[in-house]
Structure 1
Amino acid sequence: MTRQTPYDIAAVRALFPALAAGTAHFDGPGGTQTPRPVIDAVADAMARPLSNRGRTTPGERNADALVTGARAALGDLLGADPAGIVFGRSATQLTYDMSRTLARTWAPGDEVVVTRLDHDSNIRPWIQAAAQAGATVRWADFDPATGELGADVIRALLSERTRLVALTAASNLIGTRPAVAEIAELVHAAGALLYVDGVHHAAHSLVDLEGLGADFYVCSPYKFLGPHHGVLAARPELLETLHPDKLLPSTDAVPERFELGTLPYEFLAGTTAAIDFLAGLDPAATGTRRERLAASYAALEAHEDTLRAQMDKGLAALDGITVHSRADNRTPTLLLTFENHDTADAYAFLAAPERLVHAPSGSFYAVEASRHLGLGDTGGLRVGLAPYNDSTDVDRLLTGLSDFLTR
């Protein structure tokens, strides 16, 4: 029996109302468009009774169900214990909060490792926390020619005084996916913790918290079709050892002790819907939600690999373009610069009404990576794929770039 085609891009695109405006979106690394089931889930949550969590009134029960449902969905998405899922306003906010909490355990002479491949939200909080504790910051550099950040680079920086390594699972600027699991073994052998920024990674790869070896993993649902908020995943027993600042009457239970104020219940409903949507990208997938997510991510990666190959071939045929995304293992996110042309001009040219191609220009808060590539704070033109992109989008992008370079 022939298995059903795993990825029906036309059916996927039909569920994104924003695509009706006609824009070819390559801005997914900065935030994806929203499918109808997510929109409906947010609206439905707000249309029903809602109040602070509890078990007495309908509003209390609805709020509690939305929170526990979202924790369960994210547990399936990240291969994590739902009891270790923490919600926050953003990944940046969660990282700042965790950096302040962890820094209380550091002393002068302790060391923290950060990388130049990372988004600044996984660099600056650690630098600032280290300064307050009197700890030393050590920098891991990637190879600007290849975009690679090898485990040997991290190994050379570890010592008995290393307390934490902050590492991206995928660069939001050039797509590089370091060998996180291999690096985690080195970090743990040194007696340190590994804090992983998975904001870009979770949009393209099925996450396995234990398999990665991450002690902490942060992501943002709006990068994988959901609403705007942040998520941190960790082992509950690790969270139990940490004591953040909190209000006196607020619970000390894990994970709630890390969540400040009332949660955005309607956004949690949307996040659950986004994960269920991702689990349905392979219509032939069966089994648990985690099993369906595994099949759907495999289908998504195959789809994105096909489109990336189309982009790579088309870009290679154009003169005057430098592609800075060269790592062997990377997401379908490319950073481009042009000879004798400003990438901000390319961004505006592509976005014009007669083209409606959205590929933004900048460093996208990965300022250390941009500088290390020799691009200063300006960066380049970032082209990133999302589940709703198709080959027609890629054709429009390539045609637009060709016209820009030859106008």
Structure 2
Amino acid sequence: MALDPTALRAHFPALASGLAFFDGPAGTQTPTPVADAITATLTGPLSNRGTFGESDLNAEHAVHGFRAAYADLLKMPAEGIVHGRSATQLTYDFSRHLAKTWRSGDEIVLSRLDHDANVRPWVQAAERAGVAVRWIEIDPATTELDLDSYELALSDRTRLVAVTAASNVVGTIPPLRRIADQAHELGALVFVDGVHYAAHHLVDVPALGADLFVCSPYKFLGPHCGVLAGVPELLESLHPDKLVPSPDVVPERFELGTLPYEILAGAAATVDFLAALDPGAAGTRRERLAQSMAAMHDHETALRARLQEGLDGFGDAVTLHSRARERTPTFLMSLGGRDARDAQTHLTSRKVVAVAGSFYAYEPFRALDLDDPALRVGLAPYNTAEEIDRLLVALDEFL
């Protein structure tokens, strides 16, 4: 298993700009095969879904192709795959769906590690339903979840645990299966924000213990949209507000209005592209995904080690906040009292893209008392050792 960075990069027109992109956690660049799939679908022939002719069948095939692709990527049944405009929109939607089942006296458990998209929808739904919110805290020394606080937050009144599979700012990967098992022992559902995790690891939703799992294809080389994978039996039990004539079958009952067929086609092409990252990968699409993403992980791990060594060489001038034992190749750092926005400006002048901000991670920034803004550097499959070195040289100039 091996990833060839040169061959991979040839598929990304944006890289011809000479820019070194370290903003993958905010969204990756898009390869040509994904753009081609979008163009081919959009330019048709294309009509609304149906089974009468070429143009409406093209739309029908785009929908089924999308569900089949994400069933393979996430290891879930195709009837459990729901399209959404974004992970945030899907989480808001399902917070409302699930809140219909809550009663006064119920409780939900949220995580201080999470992006606000997996916090605020639940907080607001709980307020409307009169449901109490409990919290899993962060250990500031390790940037890992404090599992003692999780055990204290759980009770026989817990109805939902919402937690990230990986932090979008410090990269921490919590022990999700352990968290899920404890929730399930009490009869609670587990909603997982997998947006950052899915960009770096092959997802197995059942193995993670998630009942509902969201991700965003644009974080792993695809178009801008969101995907929710849910246990079909659970989806059958939820009844969203919808138009009377619109389909009431799962998963269509959760997808309001006409679907963006071209985006679905691009999202499906993204899965095929990921499955071919290792040119030697063979077998079913899921098997090829496993081989290719293992090769991607090896590539990113080597780059992460190179970057870690370089950042360590700056001594006290750089404070790294990404310290968890299990984490993604994502680094959040403060720069010795300097404004991270000035660092972003300098790096941009050297054609290095790394962003300063708090990245919608409202709870982690408060819990860890982080400088706002901080500088985030995140790796993607198309990054190279030479780009790591360029980043380190530019950062050294700034410091």
TM score, norm. by length of structure 2 = 0.98
2:28 and 2:218 in contact (8 A); partners too: yes
Name the SS of the counterpart of 1:160 in structure 2: coil
Letter in 1 for 2:366: R
Question: Is 1:177 equivalent to 2:166 in the alignment?
Answer: no
Question: Is 1:364 equivalent to 2:359 in the alignment?
Answer: yes
- Which residue does the alignment assign to 1:392? 386
- Which residue does the alignment assign to 1:298? 294
- Which residue does the alignment assign to 1:267? 263
Aligned-residue sequence identity (percent) comes to: 60
1:170 and 1:331 in contact (8 A); partners too: yes
TM score, norm. by length of structure 1 = 0.96
- Which residue does the alignment assign to 2:206? 210
Worse-superposed segment, 193-202 or 137-146: 137-146
Name the SS of the counterpart of 1:163 in structure 2: strand
Name the SS of the counterpart of 2:332 in structure 1: strand
Question: Is 1:329 equivalent to 2:326 in the alignment?
Answer: yes
Partner residue of 2:274 out of 262, 273, 278: 278
Query: For residues 136 and 144 of structure 2, what CA distance do their matches in structure 1 show?
Result: 11
Query: For residues 111 and 393 of structure 2, what CA distance do their matches in structure 1 show?
Result: 36
Query: For residues 50 and 108 of structure 1, what CA distance do their matches in structure 2 show?
Result: 48
Question: Is 1:229 equivalent to 2:203 in the alignment?
Answer: no
Letter in 2 for 1:362: G
Name the Cα RMSD after superposition: 0.9
Q: What's the offset of the Cα at 1:150?
A: 4.5
2:70 and 2:271 in contact (8 A); partners too: yes
Letter in 2 for 1:249: P
Map 1:233-244 onto structure 2 (within 5 A). 233-244=229-240
1:151 and 1:182 in contact (8 A); partners too: no
- Which residue does the alignment assign to 1:60? 56
Per-residue Cα deviation, 1:206-243 (whole angstroms, up to 9, x for no partner): 00011011000000110010100111001111100000
Partner residue of 2:81 out of 55, 62, 85: 85
Map 1:6-405 onto structure 2 (within 5 A). 6-319=2-315, 320-352=317-349, 355-375=350-370, 378-405=372-399
Alignment length (residue pairs) = 398
Name the SS of the counterpart of 2:331 in structure 1: strand
2:334 and 2:374 in contact (8 A); partners too: yes
Name the SS of the counterpart of 2:162 in structure 1: strand
2:339 and 2:373 in contact (8 A); partners too: no
Letter in 1 for 2:309: K
Name the SS of the counterpart of 1:349 in structure 2: helix
2:162 and 2:190 in contact (8 A); partners too: yes
2:136 and 2:147 in contact (8 A); partners too: no
Query: For residues 17 and 390 of structure 1, what CA distance do their matches in structure 2 show?
Result: 16
Q: What's the offset of the Cα at 1:155?
A: 2.1
Q: What's the offset of the Cα at 1:340?
A: 2.7
Name the SS of the counterpart of 2:203 in structure 1: coil
Query: For residues 105 and 339 of structure 1, what CA distance do their matches in structure 2 show?
Result: 49
Letter in 1 for 2:319: T
Query: For residues 373 and 234 of structure 2, what CA distance do their matches in structure 1 show?
Result: 37
Query: For residues 252 and 120 of structure 1, what CA distance do their matches in structure 2 show?
Result: 30
Query: For residues 291 and 230 of structure 2, what CA distance do their matches in structure 1 show?
Result: 24
Query: For residues 302 and 83 of structure 2, what CA distance do their matches in structure 1 show?
Result: 34
Unpaired segments of 5 or more residues in structure 1? none
Query: For residues 306 and 152 of structure 2, what CA distance do their matches in structure 1 show?
Result: 38
Query: For residues 61 and 138 of structure 1, what CA distance do their matches in structure 2 show?
Result: 48
Worse-superposed segment, 50-59 or 111-120: 50-59
Q: What's the offset of the Cα at 1:154?
A: 1.9
Letter in 2 for 1:78: L
Worse-superposed segment, 105-114 or 165-174: 105-114
Unpaired segments of 5 or more residues in structure 2? none
Per-residue Cα deviation, 1:60-86 (whole angstroms, up to 9, x for no partner): 100010010010000100011111000
Q: What's the offset of the Cα at 1:46?
A: 1.1
